[in-house]
Amino acid sequence: MSEERETRIFMISPDSMITPDQLVREVHAMGKEVTAKETCYGTLVEGPRPLVGEVLAIIRERYPYDIYSKVRAYPTGDRRRCRAEHGTRPGYAQLEAEWEMLPLIQHGIRCSENGERPAVPKEKEKLPLEEFKKICEAC
């Protein structure tokens, strides 16, 4: 991955009280040489990779359960992807679907940090032959 530029999506969980505006202001207040762009779901942060990493570490420390992040391939405001420029947005449906799911993931992370053990999923068992015969005869 490019060491020069990193663009990161910071997505706010739908049940969080943080607003995109608040998040952008916080990023600006950090005083790092990065660009922050407010979006409907949170913010896009762009800059040299080490600095974006520092922003990520601070945000994750302040809001461990409210904000989720991933790298974005295209730069902020890129004409090929920017909505203002009528760019296409493949992958956005996936993001939207995962955004709706973030409260569940948040709950899962909290529980795992509290030491809750994950239940072992039940494995599907084969239907006994005798039972299958009975079903066939009944049909």
Partner 1 sequence: MKVFIDPPNSLILFDLVERFGHEPLGTMAPIQERIDKTEVDMPPMNVSLDDVVKGLKYAGVEVPSGIRGRLALWGPLIEAADAALIMEDPPFNFGCVGCERSNEMAKYLIRRRGIPALTVRYPDDKEEAVMTVGRIKEFLEGLK
Our finding on whether 135 is near partner 1 (CB under 8 A) is no
Site for partner 1 in 46-85 (CB under 8 A): 60, 68-75, 78, 80-81
Q: From the CB of 14, what's the least distance to partner 1, in Å?
A: 13
Stretch that binds partner 1, among 5-13, 22-30, 32-40, 129-137 (CB under 8 A): 5-13
Task: Give the length of the chain.
Answer: 139
Place of tokens 């809750």: 116
CA distance 27 to 58: 9
Which of 98, 133, 134, 135 is the binder for partner 1 (CB under 8 A)?
Answer: 98
Chain centroid to Cα 6, Å, comes to: 16
Size of the site for partner 1 (CB under 8 A): 45
C-alpha dist (Å) from residue 111 to 23, 61, 62, 78, 90: 25, 18, 19, 39, 33
Q: From the CB of 24, what's the least distance to partner 1, in Å?
A: 19
48: nearest Cα among 78, 11, 12, 8: 8
Site for partner 1, rule CB under 8 A: 1-2, 4-5, 9, 11, 60, 68-75, 78, 80-81, 87-88, 90-102, 104-105, 107-109, 111-112, 116-119, 121
